[in-house]
Amino acid sequence: MEQLRKGPLGDLPDVDAASALARLSWDELLEYGTEQKNLRLDNAEIAVALRALRAVLGRLRIVFDPPFRDQFGFHQYWKSRGMSDAGGWAKRRAYLTGLFEPVLAQLETIEDLQTGQQADRDGAAGQITEVTRRRFIDGLDAVRKKIMDELAEAGAPVERPDLFWWGTLDEVAFLDRLSRVRPDPGSACSARWRSSPRGTR
């Protein structure tokens, strides 16, 4: 707990640590404020847990400042606020719900944002952006024009619609088709291609 209060604990994200601490603290204070039969933490331990929770939430910029520091302090607080008379259990439950639910809601929002940002990054890694797509198409058009010019200079037929970007093939299929296009072995264009640095690799 003390290590967590001082900083993130290894690979455990603060949002996960805060959520676990908030639920633990809520459960323990609720049990202490009602039946007190299944307490897992004593007074000193709940004090450490609440202190660590405040620190972790502070790193996440979530305000959490209950008017007590341990179980005994909670007891004194509910007595001073009229939560000891008839219906005291329900009042203490309602108070703790109002204390912890907003914290957990903020943590869920942070977690959702982080999850969404990661999903966006993962999705972007597997997709071609519009700018990249445009550059890719422009590059293919330039390659296609170069091949067409070489074919024309060599006197070869230039009616090659499969060299044009019609939009019916995706980028990968089009590049694959383009990579297989070569001038006829006996053409002047083929001889020039074989003698070029690219053709002699």
**68 pLDDT higher than 60:** yes
Contacts of 124 (CB under 8 A, 6+ apart): none
DSSP 7: S
pLDDT attached to residue 78: 96
pLDDT attached to residue 7: 83
pLDDT attached to residue 192: 45
pLDDT attached to residue 164: 47
Structure tokens at 53: 């929770």
Identify the helix (H) or strand (E) that includes residue 190. Answer: helix 188-195
Q: Kindly indicate the confidence band of residue 193, based on its pLDDT and cuts at 50, 70 and 90.
A: very low
Contacts of 18 (CB under 8 A, 6+ apart): 53, 56, 57, 60, 62, 103, 107
pLDDT attached to residue 10: 81
Q: Kindly indicate the confidence band of residue 4, based on its pLDDT and cuts at 50, 70 and 90.
A: confident
